[in-house]
Amino acid sequence: MSPINRQIVLASRPKGEVTPANFRLVEAPLAALADGQVRVRNHFLSLDPYMRGRMNESKSYAASQPLDEVMIGGTVGEVVESRNANFAVGDKVVGMGGWQEYQTVDATQRGVLNKVDTTHIPLSAYLGSVGMPGVTAWYGLMKIINVKAGETVVVSAASGAVGSVVGQLAKARGARAVGLAGGADKCRYVVEELGFDACIDYKQHPDVKSLSAALKAECPQGIDGYFENVGGMILDAVLLRANAFSRIAMCGMISGYDGQPIPMAAPQLILVNRMKVEGFIVSEHMDVWPEALKELGTMVATGKLKFRESIAEGIAAAPEAFIGLLKGRNFGKQLVKLV
């Protein structure tokens, strides 16, 4: 085993857009394991939009990413050394290993590492459709939107790790699924591969009036549920087409991750339409994870839930891949392959 662990740490806090200079690649020696510890060789690192908010020092739902420490992030990998009876060398595990090649954890802490079965589900899927993004989609759709057959559900960032699952779950429950994505290729994939009823290329609609007209055409019965990942003009356009008693699951606002304000054009529509708008953080709802993961895992294993991955190679590629994610350059779940 290599005695060196390569890691990406947060070197400085972004002022506006994230740049490569905000990160630093460091090397750290691997110490001998203590009793109860497990060492994991991370195979894949998950890159997710929430990480941008953690890079700020401002108050949020979670603690800020400390400077000069390994960037937070979900990982999957293989146990390569163990001094814990519950984990054997060769076990495949998921955890929050961060932006590094190896993680060393006290596995006596419950939940810090979870074993996964890769017989029918690829290891990388535990960072996507059968992981945090998938459960995020499931919770927002099932517990906030509470989708019913015959309703129309719209989801922004529809080709991404979360949005792609939202639409497929909505279809499985008899709803009409309409996506919003950037570019013809992503929209084609959302309809032809994922099975959405329609997908609107927001890049073809430069203003709220145009986007609202496109939504009207694809949602002739109005919008009953909206899964929000973006905010800004897209939210304004959706509000104009929302039905009475519609529900919005506020998952992300990627249009404002660089710290810019996100004004709303017509918030009075929330009152007029008696809408429910609810933000959520999926880690605060651990009670639903077993139910959600059982359904998601079964759907992936049987081919009923499809997903796509964008994979960057090597730990050094993580910063540029993350910047690309924030700019919408990824196609599907953004991962970094570490082995």
Residue 262 sits in a domain whose CATH number is 3.40.50.720
pTM: 0.94
Distance CA 227, CA 85 (A): 42
Identify whether residues 147 and 264 lie together within a single domain.
Answer: yes
The percent of residues in the chain predicted with pLDDT above 70, rounded, is 99
pLDDT of amino acid 2: 52
pLDDT band at 100 (very low <50, low <70, confident <90, very high): very high
Q: Who has greater pLDDT, 59 or 239?
A: 239
Identify whether residues 193 and 322 lie together within a single domain.
Answer: no
Q: Residue 54: CB partners within 8 Å, gap ≥ 6?
A: 60, 62, 63, 64, 65, 72
Cβ pair 150, 224 in contact under 8 A: no
* Mean pLDDT of the 316-337 span: 96
Identify whether residues 137 and 279 lie together within a single domain.
Answer: yes
Q: Is residue 200 part of a domain?
A: yes
**What CATH number is given to the structural domain containing 47?**
3.90.180.10
Domain that holds residue 52: 4-128+307-337
Identify whether residues 115 and 154 lie together within a single domain.
Answer: no
Distance CA 41, CA 18 (A): 28
- Tokens read off for 167: 């639409």
Identify whether residues 164 and 215 lie together within a single domain.
Answer: yes
Task: Give the long-range contacts of residues 212-215, CB within 8 A, separation 24 or more.
Answer: 212/237, 212/240, 212/241, 215/154, 215/178, 215/240, 215/241
Distance CA 277, CA 250 (A): 7
Radius of gyration of the chain (CA): 20
The predicted-structure confidence for 147-184, as pLDDT tens digits, reads as follows 999 999 999 999 999 999 999 999 999 999 999 999 99
pLDDT over 60 (residue 5): yes
The number of beta carbons lying within 10 Å of the beta carbon of residue 108 is: 13
| Domain count for the chain | 2
* Mean pLDDT of the 83-111 span: 96
Identify whether residues 277 and 136 lie together within a single domain.
Answer: yes
Q: Is residue 302 part of a domain?
A: no
pLDDT over 80 (residue 1): no
The number of beta carbons lying within 10 Å of the beta carbon of residue 110 is: 7
Distance CA 180, CA 203 (A): 10
- Tokens read off for 217: 């055409």
Identify whether residues 136 and 277 lie together within a single domain.
Answer: yes
